[in-house]
Chain A
Amino acid sequence: MWKDRIKSLLGSAAAPAPAPELGVSAQDRTNEAVQAGAAPWPRGFPSEELSRPSRCLEHFLAALEGRRGSGVLDLGGASQANITYITALGHRMSSESVLHALDTVWHDDGLSEARKIEDFLEQTLNYQYSTFAGVLIWDTLQFLPPPLLQAAILRLHDILEQDAVMLAYFHADEKQTLVPAYSYRILDGHTIAVNPKAVRQRPQSLNSRAIENLFQNFKTVKFFLTKDHLREVLIVR
């Protein structure tokens, strides 16, 4: 399916580009292309499903040992594999899609930024009566605009138990603004399946220092060396 999509995109890339409209910035056109699903697949990123080891996942699962019965939150949306794996370890699983909430709330131009953040946190990460021992963030945080990102991390801090862990991935290529969003499935205790979903605009570039600063209220931030495009980070509250 992805091969067909790439072929069609290459075909469209060969066609002459339309003349730019007056008053429409390059950024606006990029956003429109991304929203329409017509953005070309970024170079250097896998466009087909693959499995890869994840040492961050090993650490994440090790930290959950001994906390049987506690809650784990998956921000990447419902996944049969993740639900089966986490609940088999004896944990209660909660699931929601941060990117779905982002697409629903953030692109409503009629609302102020403060109202959008409020609506976003109303729709997602809204757990007044629950706390979690672990959060599977996957690669979702890097797609949040800066003010929303700060608000989301503050909310995560609130809903996590002491010494709770979060697993987060960030694309290592800091120059690319268009990057793929993937879905992630736990295959076993140290392997994940990575499945490309769509190309998304990344509103900010996050290097290691920026990631450390994002989680400055947390106890530790651990980076794991990987051979591919993903930077793996384990955050402990």
Chain B
Amino acid sequence: MSTMTVREPEPARQNATATIGKSVLIKGTIISREDLYLDGEFEGGVELQEHRLTIGPNGRVQANIKAREIVVIGTIHGNVEATEKIEVRKEAKLVGDIRTARIVIEDGAYFKGSIDIVKQDVGKPAPQQAPRPQAMAAAAGAGPSPAPTPVTETKR
């Protein structure tokens, strides 16, 4: 009677990052259980639910993307969804809709699309938001400012 050893799946290495180099072209779907650095050309779909995706400076991606955190330095055409944060660097080009809890866009980045800020899960710290104008006035100790009036108005 023979015995068979069942190997446990190898746990993901801590801080490991898979890399797709700049001379690589892939079409299909990527599902990753570790962080991914994509510096090549990719077309399809990307899912890294609990991990970070970085599109390198040479990366050109035409895909819908879901990840915990996304850093864009290269080019993305597609909708992106990050449960925690999206960072769009100044060299980046992103054409598509963004859905995320927090976003950082550097000056000079090209972005065309819509941004939906979704609240993070209960228990996680909420992203810092810009105070509303009224709250700012109250915090500054200013009284209610009179409603501004236009100089001229043309009604049709």
Contacts and interface: CB of A to CB of B under 8 A. Distances in A.
Interface of A: 55, 58-59, 61-62, 71, 77-80, 83-85, 87-89, 92-97, 100, 124, 130, 183, 188-190, 208, 212, 216, 218-225, 234
Given A89-B132, A189-B132, A80 B106 contact: yes
Contacts of A97: 110, 112
Given A77-B110, A224-B148, 11 more contacts: A78-B88, A87-B115, A88-B132, A92-B116, A94-B114, A188-B133, A188-B136, A220-B155, A222-B150, A222-B151, A234-B150
A225 B114 contact: no
Contacts, number: 95
B152 A208 contact: yes
A189 to B, nearest CB: 2
B133 A225 contact: no
Contacts of A220: 153-156
B70 to A, nearest CB: 15
Nearest to A222: B150
Contact of B111 (A61, A78, A225): A78
B111 A95 contact: yes
A189 B144 CA distance: 13
A84 B156 CA distance: 34
Contacts of A100: 110
Nearest to B134: A189
A78 B110 CA distance: 7
Contacts of A189: 132-134, 136-137
Given A87-B115, A87-B117, A88-B129, A80 B154 contact: no
Contact of A216 (B111, B131, B156): B156
B125 interface: no
A223 B132 contact: no
A84 B130 contact: yes
27 contacts: A55-B150, A58-B148, A59-B148, A59-B150, A77-B111, A80-B106, A87-B117, A88-B117, A88-B132, A94-B113, A95-B112, A95-B114, A95-B115, A96-B111, A96-B112, A97-B110, A97-B112, A100-B110, A130-B114, A188-B136, A208-B152, A216-B156, A218-B156, A220-B156, A222-B151, A222-B154, A223-B153
B45 to A, nearest CB: 22
A234 B150 CA distance: 9
Given A83-B103, A189-B133, A212 B112 contact: no
A214 B155 CA distance: 14
Interface string B112-128: 11111100000000000
